[in-house]
Chain A
């Protein structure tokens, strides 16, 4: 008989994780909402560049940031690295991910306020008053997305393990990777999944349509950016300080051991061993996710209610702990006949699970472009007798192509940073590069770990630069 309630030790760990989760949400919204509204509303020097840099933490696994913070604390001999500092450290690491997300979401929220509304606010009161009116309108979506992202911290084991903070996710990881007790891990995963749903469902029930409306806001409603000398003077320095705190500090810690030398040999050997798998997992996840999204959009993109329902429902795949999905897939694999081994014991399974996990993000990216298509496009094709195949191949898919390419790239990068699924589902010896870092970080020397981290950072930075150069102007 499966026992649904875990022991008190795990419940205590969950309570600690919840405290970290709520603190992270409050802190991230507190910083991200005003800065995002500011960036959405005003033009200032180096804005595009600074906002591009801000995306770095989103593309890196959280455990790298935790390693960086941990080594930064050692560098400045910050003492008292106990539970409380571990909790604070976890809040810092998670906030480094959530603050950029809050800023981007607030900017998106500003897009849903029309330029005329903003002009009316400025005419009715001061520029500051207008700023707070816009902030009030962007707050719901920013808070909502921050809560959803906050729920995901419940299932991220990296910072807890590295910073010595016994979080619920760290306990789950220990259960299956150190104790090899899959039943215990499954029980703990169910508990966290239930808790995630407890927070997720009411939010989606009440705010699902609002979420879709803002996330699918059209470019046509993008505002004319306001010039303001005070903002011009202070905005860029404020963003630079933020970047130093959330990116500079972890990076200094991460690369600190490299002053003593770089172990390129070790890094190259690790890359040689893992690059094929890393590319296989990430690219196929990006492709599968985008194909799922395109199929969904072509079939249901027309129907407003279905797309809102589907979008809300598909967010479940992201909210649920990756280990929960992976453990259930393992269970399923064990229960089917060996003729399914090509799927359940192969590398493709990882790509499929990751592709499904990031499907909502791919859907959002594709739907956002699809929603800008006028229904009259379809009517014009119908009245002229253009067949559906011709219309899809010559008009619709080429029109969606930029968002499809963006989706493949973004999902590939996100899938690369995801280690939970790869850790559980990989065939023996088929590690990805980030997983190789994760597995050696406890035993290998700091120089070796830092050398690997440097390579990972450089690859991510190059990818981000490519992404930002191609798509940044539109973003």
Chain B
């Protein structure tokens, strides 16, 4: 996986639950869980903006590029 989603790390840093974030950003828990597990196909700028605003962080805190050893 080249792009890793560090949403769980940021949630832990802010001591926030997925359910709480879901209520704030208006995205379902299911979708946030899929995003958290890096299984989403793409992320909208509007989603990223809402998450960054809720967690008071930068997009780089949530998304990270990790070189794939297989490629």
B and A form one assembly: no
